[in-house]
């Protein structure tokens, strides 16, 4: 049924004794797409749905939904969700030699600790798994180096369901298919996705709605700041010079991943193989910590 399996590991870096390993066993996914002869049959035999995004094929186990959201840069990302977990798969360009995942874990750890999270690195089936405990949430990142690519899933859950969420994330991770392509790419650059037309149309509509919401909120903040300045001017004694007024408060939210914003936007129409998900709320930008916290779907 399938072509010859390719190992997802390159030359393994020598790990310090007692540290988690960096690479996966050769028999464990994620797999290079070229190693699977019939992609549709691969997922059908698993009992999964799937979404083919060109550089990344995401399998959706039975009983789970696949949603699309916008990252802080306004780019689409796909989430496999249940009532327990939210799993975000991604794939990056990498050098031929292994070791990129180790570097990514170190960078994430530094970023999260700088935001006050309690961070540990655990030994999982693929080696290093980064785990960050935050108020009301646990973030886990699982990754592995493949042939000129690095695959990753980020998992969000509540503390009491973190272990179950980790298993759900691993199930999605091991059945990812990655197509790096032959062209040159900067290392750690996210592999470009080919978005189905119906999803792309929904994303364009959602981006327009978010832009309108941002403009409306910015206008409201400016008006509120102007009213505060007018009240202060009326309260000053005659002859007192006013300082230059500046708007107060945070800027209008951009498309990002922390807590929900007030106005919901519709989820894009799913493809035939993409489970439907109820309407949810637009996302807004935030700090580096917010970037790694739970996301809101479009």
Predicted local distance difference test score (pLDDT) of residue 188: 93
Q: Which residues contact 85 (CB under 8 A, 6 or more apart)?
A: 155, 156, 157, 161, 164, 165, 168, 169
107-154 pLDDT tens trace: 999 999 999 999 999 999 999 999 999 999 999 999 999 999 999 999
Residue 230: per-residue pLDDT: 67
Q: What is the mean pLDDT of residues 224-251?
A: 50
How many beta carbons lie within 10 A of that of residue 133, not counting itself? 15
> Which pLDDT value is given to residue 226?
77
Q: Residue 220 corresponds to which tokens in the numbers above?
A: 């409201």
The helix (H) or strand (E) run that includes residue 101 is: helix 100-114
Of 82, 297, 139, 120, give the one whose Cα is nearest residue 210.
Answer: 297
The 3-state DSSP class for residue 124 equals strand
Residue whose structure tokens are 């949810």 = 280
Q: Which residues are 77's β-sheet partners? A: 69
pLDDT digits (tens, 9 = 90+) for 144-186: 999 999 999 999 999 999 999 999 999 999 999 999 998 899 9
Cα(43)–Cα(58) distance, integer angstroms: 9
26 CB burial (10 A radius; 0-12, 13-18, 19+): exposed
Q: Give the three-class secondary structure for 234.
A: helix
User: Residue 251: its pLDDT value, please?
Assistant: 37
Place of tokens 């870096």: 13
At residue 242, what are phi and psi to the nearest 5 degrees? -85, 145
> For residues 68-85, b (16+ Cβ closer than 10 Å) or e, as one string?
bbbbbeeebbbbbbbebb
Q: Which residue in 137, 215, 149 sits closest to 183, CA to CA?
A: 149
Helix (H) or strand (E) holding 231: helix 197-235
Per-residue pLDDT band for 102 (boundaries 50, 70, 90) equals very high
The predicted pLDDT at position 205 comes to 81
**What is the rounded average pLDDT for all residues in the chain?**
76
């Amino acid at each position: 049924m399938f072509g010859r399996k390719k190992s997802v590991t390159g030359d393994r870096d020598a790990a310090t004794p007692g540290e988690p390993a960096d690479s996966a066993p050769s028999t464990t996914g994620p797999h290079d797409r070229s190693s699977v002869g019939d992609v549709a049959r691969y997922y059908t035999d698993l009992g999964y749905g799937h979404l083919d995004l060109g550089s990344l094929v995401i399998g959706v186990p039975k009983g789970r939904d696949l949603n699309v959201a916008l990252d802080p840069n306004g780019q689409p990302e796909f989430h496999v969700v249940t009532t327990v977990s939210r799993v975000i798969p991604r794939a990056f360009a990498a050098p031929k030699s292994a070791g990129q995942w180790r570097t990514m874990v170190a960078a994430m750890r530094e970023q999260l600790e700088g935001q006050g999270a309690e961070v540990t690195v655990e030994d999982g089936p693929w080696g290093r798994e980064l785990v960050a405990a935050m108020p009301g949430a646990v973030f886990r990142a699982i990754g592995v180096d493949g042939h000129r690519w690095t695959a990753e899933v980020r998992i969000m859950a509540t503390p009491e369901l973190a272990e179950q969420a980790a298993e759900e994330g691993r199930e999605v991770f091991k059945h990812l298919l990655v197509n790096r392509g032959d062209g040159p790419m900067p290392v750690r650059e996210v592999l470009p996705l080919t978005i189905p037309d119906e999803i792309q149309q929904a994303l364009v509509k959602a981006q327009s709605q978010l832009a309108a919401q941002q403009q409306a909120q910015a206008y409201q903040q400016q008006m509120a700041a102007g009213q505060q300045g007018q009240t202060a001017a009326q309260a000053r004694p005659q002859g007192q010079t006013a300082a230059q007024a500046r708007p107060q408060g945070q800027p209008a939210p951009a498309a990002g991943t922390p807590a929900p914003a007030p106005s919901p936007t519709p989820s894009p129409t799913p493809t035939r193989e993409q489970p439907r998900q109820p309407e949810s709320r637009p996302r807004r930008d935030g700090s580096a910590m917010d970037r790694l916290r739970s996301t809101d779907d479009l």
